[in-house]
Each structure stands twice: as structure tokens, then as C-alpha cells.
Amino acid sequence: MRKILFLSAILLFSIGQAFSQAKKPTLMVVPSDAWCNENGYMLEFKDQGTTVKVPDYKKAFQEDPDLILVISKINEMMAARGFPLKNMESVLKTLQQNSAEDVMMTSKTTGANIMENPIDKLKKVAKADIILQLTWKVNQIGPKKSVTFILQGLDSYTGKQIAAASGTGNPSFTAELPVLLEEAVVSQMDNFSYTLQNYFDDLFANGREVTLRIKVWNDWGKDLETEFGNDHQPLSDIIEDWLSDNTVKGRFSTTDATENMMLFEQVRIPLYYERNGRERAMDTRRFTRGLSNYLRDTLNIPNKLTTKGLGEASIILGGK
Amino acid sequence: MRIQFLTKRDGILLLFIFFIAIQSANAQKHKQKKADEETAVWRYEIKPVGIGTEGSYEVKVWSYSKSVKVAAEQSKKNAVHGIIFKGFSSSGRIPGQQALARDPELYQKNAAFFDDFFKQGGDYLKFVMLADNGNIGPGDRIYLGRREFKIGVVVVVKVDALRKYLESKGIIKSLSSGF
């Protein structure tokens, strides 16, 4: 009997532990625009008379084996640290294949197609929570070659650089470029992981940093200056009060506020929330859903909640 | 058959040899203890000499001792100690590395573990090896006076294996812990 009780306690503890894991950010290595430009992997098109250049990742992956070598090496070393990366080449292929399948898909009974609005189309891009932006440059002085290597970890939603490692390797007369590149990755990855760990430590201490936008449908008839509640507070103040009560240590910045929009940055959301007596991983959608429900239930404001990955959410007030 | 007992002179000689042997063993122990004390107060220098193979660092460690042999052997311990607690700065174009320990109080918080880890013949030996058979270069043996030497030895530390070992023992956090 005691054995069964003991085993049950262990099982319950394990389940509790499993549910209290924070959502693991996804990482993906992306060659930088500077690297793509330097190596001729750019697409050019005219946008209202202005020439716009965008990176041609597909061409880069098809034509540059050095890029694949570097990405593969970074992936191998990050996987050894428990962070396997999303492979951009595979993601691009999957996106292309899914698009083709969606176009071909029809309902057996009605012949209907898959529903997709312009926003859905825009969202179909390769993305990850943390982008590992990769740049390297081969320096040549006479017969000597060296490689300058830069790896930046960028938070996709705040746009902040959260980790980095860079340096120029020893010049060599004889070593081939792939060897120099491999050496650069091997020598820089520990420092990169160290700075990334600092970011994760901050995440666990102060919550996940996200961005929150409040917008207003133009047919609502009210705005963020409209007063609500018994104490006739402007809606913008009510929203700020809610954020102050629900963020970690009350931390957020009101970057912009007008009668029609509010932008909150550095909103620190907790990593967990409790449901049915259990801790579950919190994400931006879940956190913002709390505000959305509060506005709907307490102030009777219908609203629409949209999210962008793990780190950005918008509430549009005045309807669904 | 007659049993030949030792003469008085032989007995004294034997006692003398026995005494010298004990003294020598004690001196060796004392030198080792002193070297361990130097490690504990971080009296060693560490700098990278090359980019090792993946998952390892190739470093030169300067250790202090009255015995060249003890200093050379202590270099292994100092290298592992340095990589866990000190890190090292860049040398030329070889990048420096941060210490594996992010908490400056890590040793004190896990004193029992580290005392055992760094004891003579402890687990630290699993993660370090002497490069170039432990040969000491002509410029790497410096006499400092007062019968003290500063000895530079190149060693290779298997840092990935060391990190994983410390993670598995719960001494340091892994990058993915908490997720």
C-alpha cells in the first residue's frame, strides 16, 4: 500500500513538473541580408519606382554548400545543448508544399476550397521565436585567408539582440574555406550559448518580454478615451491598470497611446499560470486572452484577439 | 642453519633509509597540499593556445610549486578548475571563453561535491589530458626564487563532456533547463 502511495506521489509530481515547463522558444539560423547581398543571393523588384532588394534564401540554399555546412554545424552544436534548430531550408520547402496542397484541396461534398484571407497568406513565412542571424566574410591578404564570423541571436518579436558571438579567426595559408568556417563556428558557439543563457535566466527571473497592441475598429463608435466603469476612468487607464496588476512585478512600458491605439512594449508576462490546480505554460495569447475576457465581461466591450507567434498580440476593440 | 641477524650498523642504516623514505613521502604530500591550496586561491594562469577539436579547449596553464613534477600534474587540476570557475580571455585571435559557473558562489554552495571532484585522482581527471605528452617547453619552466617554480603546461580539456557531467549532477544548469 505504502509502495503504491509512494509511486502515485512520484507520478503526480512528474505530471506537475511536465505541466510547469515553459514553452521552449524555437530557433532558426537565417543568413543575414548583408551576407546574401555580398554573395549575390538577392531578388530585385520595382516597388512604385523604387528598386527593392530582398534576400533569395532558396537560391542561397541551393547554390552555397558552405552555408549548409555552417548551418549544419551550428545546428549540431545547439542540439547537443538541448536546442535543436528549425532548418530554414526544410521550412521553406514545407511552406511551398503546403501552399500547393492548399490550392489543390477541395471538399468532397461541396467542392469548397481551403479558406484563406490575405492575413493568413502574409503569415505564411518561415519564422522562429529566435532568429540566429549569420554573417561571415572571407578576408584575404596576399595568400593568407581568414574568416570574420558574426552570429546574432535576435528576438523575433521585440527585435532585440539577445545573444551574440563574433570574431576573426587566425589567418591561414593552406586551410580551405570550409575548414576555416568550421573552426569559426566551433570557437564561437560556447560564447553564443553563454549570452543566450543570460537571456533565458532573465526570462525565468522577470518573465517573457512581449509586445501588446490595442486597436479600435473604425465602426465601434467609442475609443480609448471613452470613460467606463463606476469611477468613469478612460479605457486606456483601465487597460494600464489591468497590465500593472497582471504583469511580472508590474513591468511594462506604454510606448505609444492615442485615442485609437496603444502600444505596450517590454510587457513581462509570467511563464506559468494555474488552471485546475495545475501550473501550465503561459504564452502571449493566453495572457492577452485574460485582458480580452476582462474587457468583454467587465466592461462589455466586444473585441478580437490576434497573435503573432509567441511574442506579439493585438486586441481590436469594438467587435470580432 | 644459522640465522644471520642484522648488525647494529646495518640496523641504523635501515632505520635511516626508512626515515628518509617517510620524509620524502611527507614532503611530496606537503608539496601536493600546497599546490592544492594554490589552486583553491586561484593562483594559476590560464590562456588559450589553439582552437581544440569540437567540444574541447586547448589551454596553457601556469602553475606554481616547489616541485616541477607536482606543478605539471597540478596543471590538469588547474585547467579544469579554471574552465569551471574562471574562464579565460582571448589570446591573439583565439577567442576567450566564459567560465561554466555562472554563480560566483558555486564552489561554496557545492563544497562537498567539488572537494571530492578535485581530490587526488578525482573525477576531474576524466576531462583533461596533457598535450604533447606533458613535455614542458624550455621557456615554460621559470624559477621564481625561494625554491619555487612557475611551470607552463599545455593541456586539453574536454569541455562539452565536463559541462554535461556538471549538468547531470545538478551543479550547473543546462541551456534548456526550465523549458
Are the beta carbons of A183 and B179 separated by less than 8 Å? no
Are the beta carbons of B176 and A83 separated by less than 8 Å? yes
- A175 at interface of B, judged by CB pairs closer than 8 A: no
- Whether residue A190 sits in one domain with residue A253: no
- Whether residue A43 sits in one domain with residue A153: yes
Are the beta carbons of A190 and B97 separated by less than 8 Å? yes
Angle, in degrees to the nearest 10, between helices A65-79 and A88-104: 100
- B104 at interface of A, judged by CB pairs closer than 8 A: no
Beta bridge partners of A61: none
Given a cut of 70, the residues of chain A with pLDDT beneath it are 1-22, 116-126, 157, 309-310
**CA pseudo-torsion sign A70, A74, A79, A85:** negative
How do B128-130 and B148-157 pair as beta strands? antiparallel
Are the beta carbons of A187 and B94 separated by less than 8 Å? yes
Tens digits of residue pLDDT in A143-194: 889 999 999 999 876 788 999 999 998 888 888 888 889 888 988 999 999 9
Are the beta carbons of B92 and A170 separated by less than 8 Å? yes
Are the beta carbons of A197 and B94 separated by less than 8 Å? no
- Whether residue A39 sits in one domain with residue A140: yes
**Cβ atoms < 10 Å from Cβ of B54:** 16
Q: How far apart are CA A287 and CA A271, in angstroms?
A: 10
pLDDT at position A18: 43
- Whether residue A250 sits in one domain with residue A196: no
Looking at residue A106, the DSSP 8-state letter turns out to be B
User: Within a domain: residue A99?
Assistant: no
- Whether residue A178 sits in one domain with residue A57: yes
Looking at residue A80, the DSSP 8-state letter turns out to be T
E strand intervals along chain A: 27-31, 42-47, 50-55, 130-141, 144-155, 161-168, 208-216, 227-228, 233-234, 253-257, 262-269, 272-275, 278-281, 303-308, 312-317
Angle, in degrees to the nearest 10, between helices B68-85 and B8-40: 20
Closest-CA residue to A36 (of A6, A3, A59): A59
Nine cell digits for residue A99: 501552399
Q: Between A146, A186, A191, which is nearest B54 by CB? A: A186
User: Within a domain: residue A17?
Assistant: no
- Whether residue A221 sits in one domain with residue A273: yes
Q: How far apart are CA A98 and CA A121, in angstroms?
A: 12
Match 569541455 to its residue by C-alpha cell.
Answer: B159
Question: Domain boundary residue among A175, A204, A233?
Answer: A204
Residues of A in contact with B172 (CB under 8 A): none
- Whether residue A228 sits in one domain with residue A134: no
pLDDT at position A310: 66
User: Within a domain: residue A178?
Assistant: yes
Range 97-136 of A in CB contact (< 8 A) with B: none
Q: What SS3 class is residue B177?
A: coil
Q: How far apart are CA B57 and CA B100, in angstroms?
A: 13
Residues of A in contact with B97 (CB under 8 A): 190-191
Q: What is the number of alpha carbons within 13 Å of residue A263 lying toward its C-beta?
A: 4
- Whether residue A159 sits in one domain with residue A296: no
- Whether residue A224 sits in one domain with residue A188: no
User: Within a domain: residue A295?
Assistant: yes
User: Within a domain: residue A53?
Assistant: yes
What is the complex's ipTM, to 2 decimals? 0.75
Give Cα A61 distance to the centre of its chain.
22
Q: Are A206 and B130 in contact (CB under 8 A)?
A: no
Work out how many CB contacts closer than 8 A connect A with B. Answer: 56
| Tally of structural domains, chain A | 2
Nine cell digits for residue B47: 590562456
Are the beta carbons of A170 and B179 separated by less than 8 Å? no
Question: Looking at CA atoms only, how far is residue A205 from chain B in angstroms?
Answer: 11
User: Within a domain: residue A96?
Assistant: no
Q: Between A21, A190, A201, which is nearest B179 by CB? A: A21
Range 73-92 of A in CB contact (< 8 A) with B: 77, 80-83
Question: Domain boundary residue among A172, A204, A236?
Answer: A204
Residues 6+ apart with CB under 8 A from B149: B64, B65, B66, B67, B68, B71, B141, B142, B143
Residues of A in contact with B165 (CB under 8 A): none
**CA pseudo-torsion sign A70, A74, A80, A86:** negative
pLDDT per residue rounded down to tens, chain B (179 residues) = 555 666 777 777 777 776 666 666 666 666 677 667 777 667 899 999 987 778 899 999 999 888 878 888 889 999 999 999 999 999 888 889 999 998 889 999 999 999 999 998 899 999 999 887 777 888 888 888 877 888 899 999 999 999 999 999 999 988 888 77
- B161 at interface of A, judged by CB pairs closer than 8 A: no
**CA pseudo-torsion sign A80, B87, A154, A63:** negative
Most A-contacting residue of B164, B174, B176 (CB-CB within 10 A), to test interface: B176
Domains of chain B: which residue ranges?
34-168
pLDDT at position A16: 43
| Residue A171 burial by Cβ neighbours in a 10 Å radius (0-12, 13-18, 19+) | middle
- Whether residue A146 sits in one domain with residue A279: no
Nine cell digits for residue A222: 467609442
- Whether residue A51 sits in one domain with residue A195: yes
Output the domain CATH number for residue A82: 3.30.160
Question: Domain boundary residue among A160, A176, A204?
Answer: A204
Are the beta carbons of B98 and A191 separated by less than 8 Å? yes
User: Within a domain: residue A162?
Assistant: yes
Q: Are A269 and A289 in contact (CB under 8 A)?
A: no
User: Within a domain: residue A65?
Assistant: yes
Q: Are A61 and A96 in contact (CB under 8 A)?
A: no
Q: Are A284 and A184 in contact (CB under 8 A)?
A: no
Closest-CA residue to A265 (of A208, A225, A319): A208
- B98 at interface of A, judged by CB pairs closer than 8 A: yes
**CA pseudo-torsion sign A75, A76, A79, A81:** negative
How do B148-157 and B141-145 pair as beta strands? antiparallel
Domain containing A184: what range?
Answer: 27-86+126-204
- Whether residue A149 sits in one domain with residue A33: yes
Residues of A in contact with B56 (CB under 8 A): none
